[in-house]
Homo-oligomer: A and B are copies of this chain.
Amino acid sequence: MTSNDIYKKVLQAISEERGLKALHQRYQLKDAIMRMGPAGFAFENYIASILEYYDYRVTGIRSKIHGKCATHEIDLIGSKDDREFLIECKYHSLRGAYVGLKESLYTHARFLDLQPKFSGEVVFCNTKISNHAKKYAKCVGQQIFSWRYPATNSLEKIIEKHNLYPITILNLSQNELGIFSECNLMIAKDLLRYDEAKIARMTGISKKRIKNLQKLVEGIFYPK
């Protein structure tokens, strides 16, 4: 049985048993995010899209900003209510990787070097985070959204709350993933925002393929 077959069976199970839906999708979600790798660009674009669902305006992706002592490349700049946030995205494409104290430390040093430009510092990561990093981040006022942490507002909870599953839950080729990422179409249900002709024009992917992907998205999120 190929992984494609398994995937189909999972989708079938999801639509047959509504109660299992959350469990299956969460299982899928970690893998789906891993499929964005190995570079972090797609993950950064994905987090930018999530932030917009949470009423943040993303005013910069991979921007170079001059600080007191260095020029920093900031993954994302998000603003809300006239406050600007420095946002770092830590992406690992291998299971078992951890974000540790060092990442939390250098993000904070970056934030300090850029004072008073930002009113807050935020780290998003797709892996777990070490206890040392959690403790340090809390103490210096750095917000962290990682896998399973914080309990009520972890990355997967943020995604689940508004069904912001990434397009990588679909069976995309690496080439298609690259195209969708460049077009900032990183959230699966965003494929339903436009008709297939418009997305085909945006992406250069055939209308037929887009229509199939849209049906898949409908089957997952709006099953009859």
- What residues make up the interface of A, taking CB atoms closer than 8 Å to B? 68-72, 101-103, 105-106, 108-110, 112-113, 132, 135-136, 139-140
Contacts and interface: CB of A to CB of B under 8 A. Distances in A.
A135 B70 CA distance: 7
Contact of A136 (B70, B132, B135): B70
Contact of A109 (B70, B72, B106): B106
Q: How many copies does the complex hold?
A: 2
Highest count of chain B CB atoms <10 Å: which of A103, A109, A112? A109
A68 B109 contact: no
Contact of A135 (B69, B109, B110, B132): B69
A197 B69 CA distance: 54
Contact of A69 (B68, B106, B136): B136
Given A69-B136, A102-B106, 9 more contacts: A68-B139, A69-B135, A69-B139, A70-B105, A70-B136, A103-B106, A105-B109, A105-B110, A106-B109
Contacts of A113: 105, 136
A103 B109 CA distance: 11
A58 to B, nearest CB: 23
Contacts of A70: 101, 105, 132, 135-136, 139
A70 B132 CA distance: 7
